[in-house]
Chains A and B, each alone.
Chain A
Amino acid sequence: MPKIFDNNLSVGEVGRRPAEKIMRLSRLGSFHQSRLSFLRILLRRISTEKWKFKRQVFDIRDDCSGTAVYTYQLPNRAYSLVAFAHKISDVDRSDRVIATKWDATFTLFDGIPSKGDIERLSNNVPNQEAGRVTEKEITLSRANKSVRLWDYVVNCLSKGRQPDIHEIEKVGYMMRTTAVYGSGKFGAVDYNEISERSEFKAPFQAEMLTVYMIRAFVLDLLEHAAKVKNSTEWVQLEPKFREMLGVGNSTGLGMAPFLINHPQLLNNWISAKETALARIRSLKAPNPKCIDLFKNYMKRSNYLIESWHSEHELQIAKLNELRLDKALLDKYVEKFNFKTPYPFDSLYNWAEETLGEEAQELLVSLILEPFGELVDDLSDGMSDTKQFSSKIKGSMLIGEFLKKTEQHYAYALKINWKNSKNNELAWYISEEKLEPRLGNRFTENSIAFYEQPLQPGRDVARMHFDLSQWEQNKSIAEFLMKHPEHRHIIRRCQIVFNNPYAEIKDNTISSEVIPIDLLRAKLSFFGAFHFDPRSDRWVRINMFKGAPLPQSLNEENCDNWTYPKQKPK
């Protein structure tokens, strides 16, 4: 009989995995996309509701600059991607927040834009952070070309031939977004104004829709460039290549604070995934069809792993381990008796004892894959629209608060915060285009003064020290009157007390911290794969690689693409 990990986390026969295990940075940095990832939720909805896709405008000049508009028509409303293509020089191309020019800029418009709207947007969207959008706009985004692949593919198509598949595979995208802003940024509509729309109930759906439509635009722009280069001999990109190309994304430190700043949201994401896993592990005798599908996805996942390249030493080591572990897992599954009661629980327990975290988390995603009917409903609980209004329960007694703090923050209270290595880094925002940065508080001039509240472990330890001096029957309200400096962490603790997955249970300012672990956790929930760290603080990924294009998306293929059936030839 499988064990129950924790009564509070119990779902069925098998409980959810404990937060102490899951919320460690190394584990979060090993997450993979799953069927609960946001872009997959979006594609399921588009196909189920039969949204209609249309290119409304493609007014692109010979130098590949101009405007295009793409619209998704829903049963009762429409959303349009307004795209501006720009000609920029290589010296201006940068993926950093401090960039001021991009190969293309975008906004997701609520409805179908008029000429007046497009004119207004043309004066603002290309300027990104320096421009303003309005409540009619939902997102603001930009993208840069993969110059090498772009030029190569355009050349091939213009000469009437298809590109080499290996070249396509190596990069996997023609353009990479460097930001997709939503929820009120730069004047766009606030999320809570649209969160009641069914299509936006799951997190980041507008952002995912933006990227999905960008993918269609990029392919059109690519073929336009080939046509301009040689209008008589050019050919279209073959469908298999079109589907192989996703949209890249370059993500830096800005994404890391997001996870720490949104504890309730983080809890909801992880909670959904853990509940899904627990539901499946609790199946005493799963449907044989699902077991067959699982075995099928196991095989198909090998190509995804084979085609995952990275030049960064951290990821190379992880990939090497993953490949070895996957071979072990394949062998084990081949001989595994799925008639054993609770087979997925047994399989997971074996993996936890035998494999590294990368492979364990891959297995979790694969286990979820055949059980859509059992787990897809969990996507409804992944949002949080009340982020800013968490109230402090001032009536809570200090004794109870201390006890719970010691239970939930045991990791933080064990750390020696006087050791400079444990306290070395500070998260801050530069005045240079408000770029989030991470620096050494002891060597970089005055950055500690600008430190953001992104070190819950240290702040809890400080609060705990002060709180321990108080009588246990006093209230938190009384404590806060004397210690307003602990107000933010008291609020955070109270969120964490009721939400087991709200806190990252690691030191976020240690000299050892690897910020890309935070980035990967978030990006995996977006649905990204092929994580390719460029340093310990920024990463490139691919979204929608292998996904059907809007023109061919349907209920049959909307979920059956993440693990390709065979290696493309």
Chain B
Amino acid sequence: MNLSKNEFISLCKKSLRGKGHHWGVCEDLSNALLALAINRFPAQNILLEVLNTENSKIDQILTTIDSQVYKISDQIDGEFYDPILILGLISVDRDFNEPPLEISLENEIFILTNELIIGDCSYLKKKVNTISFSKNTSRKITKQKTVTRISIDDTTLKKIETWSNMTYAPATEESRQLGAGSDGSDND
């Protein structure tokens, strides 16, 4: 299925919430996943990985944007799970008119420029211990086009929806009676 960006954001947010992430965390992670998705990274698979990671480990990587460490440090050390997310988080956080930023997830190099995230889209390392930042990238930047639709296969979508369905209250007759419009005829 080809999802619009709005639908993809909504799917990410709901599934992450279903996993028990806090609302604000869901918002930032969803934006990060969308940034990756429009740059042709397999964001649906990254999302599935995130859904399989302990929540507190994911929360930690949000400090990279809250403290804007990528602006003030060359390198950070620690335990970073699903590190590809950091590219999306920083891509959304930084201003598009800033000069390109090179980010190394240990040995794998990515470049952020405007809304583009350039690098190996198949990167799926689960954990890294070092992340480096450089504003002096010498690498040649090949312009790529972002996509407007996010393609998700039915199997992956169903797996993700298992999580998002957890955010919906069960349908009961009592609840049905409390919905807007339950109290009147529409044949008037």
Interface set of A (CB-CB < 8 Å, partner B)? 90, 93-98, 132, 134-135, 144, 146-148, 183-193, 250, 252-254, 388-389, 391-392, 394-395, 428-432, 434-439, 444-447, 449-450, 453, 475-477, 480-481, 484-491, 515, 534-535, 537-538
The reply to whether A252 and B179 contact each other, CB–CB distance below 8 Å, is yes
The reply to whether B179 and A98 contact each other, CB–CB distance below 8 Å, is yes
Interchain CB contact (< 8 A) of B188 among A96, A147, A485? A147
The reply to whether A538 and B28 contact each other, CB–CB distance below 8 Å, is no
The reply to whether B25 and A96 contact each other, CB–CB distance below 8 Å, is no
The reply to whether B181 and A388 contact each other, CB–CB distance below 8 Å, is no
For A446, give the chain B residue with the smallest CB separation.
Answer: B169
Q: State which residues 59-79 of B face A: CB under 8 Å.
A: 59-60, 62-63, 65-68
B29 to chain A, nearest CB (A): 11
B171-183 interface code vs A (CB 8 A; 1 in, 0 out):
1101110111111
The reply to whether B25 and A491 contact each other, CB–CB distance below 8 Å, is no
Chain A residues with Cβ below 8 Å from B179 are 96-98, 252-253, 430, 435, 437
The reply to whether A93 and B187 contact each other, CB–CB distance below 8 Å, is yes
The reply to whether A391 and B93 contact each other, CB–CB distance below 8 Å, is yes
A-B contact pairs, 21 of them (CB 8 A): A96-B181, A96-B186, A132-B1, A147-B187, A184-B7, A187-B2, A187-B3, A187-B7, A254-B180, A391-B92, A430-B169, A430-B175, A432-B175, A432-B176, A438-B178, A445-B172, A477-B66, A481-B59, A487-B27, A515-B180, A534-B184
For B24, give the chain A residue with the smallest CB separation.
Answer: A487
Interchain CB contact (< 8 A) of B5 among A190, A439, A475? A190
Chain B residues with Cβ below 8 Å from A94 are 181, 186
A495 to chain B, nearest CB (A): 12
A sample of 7 more A-B contacts (CB under 8 A), given A252-B180, A486-B22, is A430-B168, A430-B171, A436-B180, A444-B174, A446-B169, A477-B63, A534-B183
Residue with the highest number of chain A CB atoms closer than 10 Å, among B3, B66, B171: B66
The reply to whether B66 and A388 contact each other, CB–CB distance below 8 Å, is no
The reply to whether A537 and B180 contact each other, CB–CB distance below 8 Å, is yes
CA–CA, A256 and B172, complex, Å? 22
The reply to whether B167 and A484 contact each other, CB–CB distance below 8 Å, is no
A460 to chain B, nearest CB (A): 13
The reply to whether A480 and B187 contact each other, CB–CB distance below 8 Å, is no
The reply to whether A439 and B63 contact each other, CB–CB distance below 8 Å, is no
Interchain CB contact (< 8 A) of B59 among A93, A134, A447, A484? A484
Chain A residues with Cβ below 8 Å from B62 are 480, 484, 487
Interchain CB contact (< 8 A) of A486 among B2, B24, B67? B24
Chain B residues with Cβ below 8 Å from A183 are 6
The reply to whether B178 and A252 contact each other, CB–CB distance below 8 Å, is no
CA–CA, A538 and B5, complex, Å? 29
The reply to whether A146 and B188 contact each other, CB–CB distance below 8 Å, is yes
Query: With A184-B5, A185-B6 as given contacts, are A491 and B181 in contact (CB-CB < 8 Å)?
Result: no
The reply to whether B66 and A394 contact each other, CB–CB distance below 8 Å, is yes
Chain A residues with Cβ below 8 Å from B169 are 428-431, 437, 446-447, 449-450
The reply to whether B66 and A392 contact each other, CB–CB distance below 8 Å, is yes
The reply to whether A389 and B31 contact each other, CB–CB distance below 8 Å, is yes
Chain B residues with Cβ below 8 Å from A490 are 24
User: B149 contacts the other chain (Cβ, under 8 Å)?
Assistant: yes
A1 to chain B, nearest CB (A): 43
The reply to whether B4 and A188 contact each other, CB–CB distance below 8 Å, is yes
CA–CA, A535 and B66, complex, Å? 44
